[in-house]
Structure 1
């Protein structure tokens, strides 16, 4: 398609208002069906194109805001937060059969009238051109492409889209590099760029350092995607754990080494970023935030209501603590799907944190117990993934993981049971809301954990 049919005369970007006329109806139907759409269960009441750039002829880069409240900001639902999404859209007169699965629809009006619109990241040609943008730094409208010139990135690498369940979209290039394209965009530096960069500077070998990345300046500064080396032949922790269960093989040795790897990352993070000394006031604010999330989740998932009093006791115990481990930067969403084993070595990936939480919160210093609790919950998930449930397998993994962590960090998370229980409860509450919205069939897993955690009683902390 000629650029002159899309570009605003005299401007670096696209004319957004007419473009929305072409896309609004299509996106209203397509967005809610995407795995990475954050507004599950909420109606899109309005769409706004915040930024539009033609990356190359027939490929559009868009940032689109989806509003979920009442148009005009009044009435029920007016306070529902809006979400900003990154889209790469292809437009063609005729869509070839190989791209049938990428189809969004045919535009009926506006500048794209009569053209087929599709998800360009599923098009190998478009994905290859995106890599070329990263190989040759520069700008395109508000977009800026940057790279580490010390790492060679060859051209002509064949792209393939990963089909695993993710809150973003990942493209592997020639089994050499992997590009994560963030779908839900929030202003600021994404931790998945910031943290691996800092860890690499510390010499931490448990992560792969960013090779290239791209950002936007409109409507505000934000990270859009990160290219990193791809660990060819690596297996993710979830697949390894489930295979262990299926073959009735002990996983304790792997869990121990994974604990050591987690501690290595935490020690490097403690050196790379400032530490914060917690106090009773800090613990009380943290407990209040956890309690607020608990009540909000119980309103959204009524099955949780009977357990609220027992779960609150975990947060009450945290609030009474005078001290705890220093707060630091952490992974923020650590589980078996966020670690890879290549050969005999564990690597930690995906430092974005929980995408549903605000970026400022994900970049905040927190207790390393948060990551430990996330992995403990993941062992429980794996143990319940098949039949019969294997609670003894999960418990063995939990103990081995904490022992491995303690061997490297010289600190055992089990020595602070109030903190660990509070974070494990908070994680399971998050899981309940996530599963209720995205995977209802998995909801019994976190609900079973919360039943146990609600009944747990610890000795009160010393005053």
Structure 2
């Protein structure tokens, strides 16, 4: 996905990536990073013993080993090695993480919390190494680098031909994200940096670019991006000679003044106000995105063998979940009916169109932006990365649109369960907004998801079963939220 408009190739500064310097760099950082990585909110290996680290690539975006008081900016790709026999499902080769490290002779007090450590050997010996995104100066230097297409060592920078990216924008790191990191530049752009990376174009770059090319105004169009390409970086795209790139970051317009759908839903519940109009327009927005993706990218049709296999996979996940969460067991037979109805639908000749999807659609992934002219508001859809815990190949696989729809319907239930008193009014709020969302979708798409009964029921049930397993393992206090849906979905009427 690199930019084709007259890229400029910069001289590579790679002394830190070459042996023996690369080995010396890794030795000097290994202990520091092994202690620091497990404490980061985006580190996926929590609870797994860390066997060691492998340096995949190192690139100086600004000099790190030279003398002077100017901070250096070091880009690393590090592969973790799981400990032998740790009993987990970690990839045998470990996960690959993107790190951006600042290097200074002395660290200002304001950057103290970002300190990784001080190497006692190697090319960075005695210098302060820290998380660079906390440093507005280095975050600003990264933006300046992204304004110019070209290459620097293993890194390749691309830019949309017509994108306007102002220089000198102040940088601030956002907090609260779990799987990635984001930096906002002024009120103009936001840079999303993927922390755990793998070969292949990330859907959060691929799909917004396709939607922008199709003229969709529902998704902020990428302004710039960068990726890593080097020998042995991954499988070869299309069977050619070039390895697939690793998408590292995407710069997109920052929708200042927007509020995400989750916060709006909670406000509606807190003030007992109607939200169905917003849900209806959100359904229309979802349908417009699906329609544009289907027109821009290949689609396919699932027939009896594939749909029966889908139902079988759902039953297997239910069996695994009931073994792990005893609270599910009384509802197992009722939930199976939904999956068996999908298999019966397939045996009757039913089919299902599949296409590229958002993959993790919920109220937190949509933004409502007021029209500055006072002519209503506009829904935008963001974060097309999919579920970060799933392999990239799975996240890029086409699926039925009802999978996204089911995710949003479950999100209405989750919002309703945040209301402190609960009761019939809250249940009616969720039901009314689910119906309004589906009706808005039907008006824009021409197909009503509520009439695709077998598909919608199966995918919503599969999502709720996943939620039960997740909450039981990670947030037991939230288990009642998906269990309320489980009781409803297990009823004979579905």
TM-score, normalised via structure 1 length: 0.90
Residue 51, structure 1, aligned to residue 51, structure 2: no
Aligned length: 448
Matching of residues 148-159 of structure 1 within 5 Å: 148-159=160-171
> Structure 1 residues 311, 99: CA separation in 2 closer, same or farther (over 3 Å shift)?
farther
Aligned to 2:15: 8
- Over aligned residue pairs, what C-alpha RMSD do you find? 2.3
Of stretches 317-326 and 209-218 in structure 1, the one that deviates more from structure 2 is: 317-326
Tell me how far 1:114 sits from its aligned partner. Answer: 2.7
Q: Deviations over 1:100-138 (max 9, x none)?
A: 232223334443333322111111111101111110111
Aligned to 1:405: 441
Tell me how far 1:303 sits from its aligned partner. Answer: 5.3
Q: Deviations over 1:313-358 (max 9, x none)?
A: 3333223322243111111100001000111110111111111111
> Structure 1 residues 142, 298: CA separation in 2 closer, same or farther (over 3 Å shift)?
farther
Tell me how far 1:288 sits from its aligned partner. Answer: 3.0
Aligned to 1:105: 117
Tell me how far 1:440 sits from its aligned partner. Answer: 4.5
Equivalent position to 1:137, from 135, 140, 149: 149
> Structure 1 residues 119, 432: CA separation in 2 closer, same or farther (over 3 Å shift)?
farther
Confirm or deny: 8 A CA contact 1:160 1:171 kept in the other structure: yes
Tell me how far 1:33 sits from its aligned partner. Answer: 2.2
Residue 340, structure 1, aligned to residue 367, structure 2: yes
Tell me how far 1:22 sits from its aligned partner. Answer: 2.2
Tell me how far 1:240 sits from its aligned partner. Answer: 0.7
Tell me how far 1:141 sits from its aligned partner. Answer: 1.1
Q: Deviations over 1:39-58 (max 9, x none)?
A: 23322223222121111122
Aligned to 1:271: 295
Aligned to 1:380: 413
Tell me how far 1:201 sits from its aligned partner. Answer: 1.4
> Structure 1 residues 242, 79: CA separation in 2 closer, same or farther (over 3 Å shift)?
closer
> How far apart are the structure 2 equivalents of 1:253 and 1:14?
63
Q: Deviations over 1:369-395 (max 9, x none)?
A: 001001011111111123022222111
Equivalent position to 2:78, from 64, 74, 77: 64
> Structure 1 residues 387, 79: CA separation in 2 closer, same or farther (over 3 Å shift)?
closer
> How far apart are the structure 1 equivalents of 2:49 and 2:321?
19
Matching of residues 44-443 of structure 1 within 5 Å: 44-57=50-63, 58-70=72-84, 75=85, 77=87, 80-81=90-91, 82-218=94-230, 219-220=233-234, 221-297=245-321, 304=328, 307-322=331-346, 323-343=350-370, 344-389=377-422, 390-436=426-472, 438-443=474-479
Any gaps of 5 or more consecutive residues in structure 2?
A: 1-12, 64-71, 235-244, 371-376
> Structure 1 residues 431, 69: CA separation in 2 closer, same or farther (over 3 Å shift)?
farther
Of stretches 33-42 and 144-153 in structure 1, the one that deviates more from structure 2 is: 33-42
Secondary structure of the 2:151 match is: strand
Any gaps of 5 or more consecutive residues in structure 1?
A: 1-5
Confirm or deny: 8 A CA contact 1:208 1:228 kept in the other structure: yes
> Structure 1 residues 288, 29: CA separation in 2 closer, same or farther (over 3 Å shift)?
farther
Secondary structure of the 2:352 match is: coil
Q: Deviations over 1:424-447 (max 9, x none)?
A: 122223334444555444343224
Q: Deviations over 1:202-238 (max 9, x none)?
A: 1111111111000111323211111111111111111
> Structure 1 residues 291, 122: CA separation in 2 closer, same or farther (over 3 Å shift)?
farther
> How far apart are the structure 2 equivalents of 1:245 and 1:78?
41
Residue 456, structure 1, aligned to residue 491, structure 2: yes
Secondary structure of the 2:96 match is: strand
> How far apart are the structure 1 equivalents of 2:81 and 2:458?
34
> Structure 1 residues 118, 313: CA separation in 2 closer, same or farther (over 3 Å shift)?
farther
Secondary structure of the 1:111 match is: coil
Of stretches 84-93 and 231-240 in structure 1, the one that deviates more from structure 2 is: 84-93
Confirm or deny: 8 A CA contact 1:13 1:53 kept in the other structure: no
> Structure 1 residues 303, 141: CA separation in 2 closer, same or farther (over 3 Å shift)?
farther
Of stretches 319-328 and 270-279 in structure 1, the one that deviates more from structure 2 is: 319-328
TM-score, normalised via structure 2 length: 0.85
Tell me how far 1:297 sits from its aligned partner. Answer: 4.7
> How far apart are the structure 1 equivalents of 2:477 and 2:274?
27
Confirm or deny: 8 A CA contact 1:51 1:62 kept in the other structure: yes
Tell me how far 1:456 sits from its aligned partner. Answer: 2.8
Aligned to 1:3: none
Secondary structure of the 1:209 match is: coil
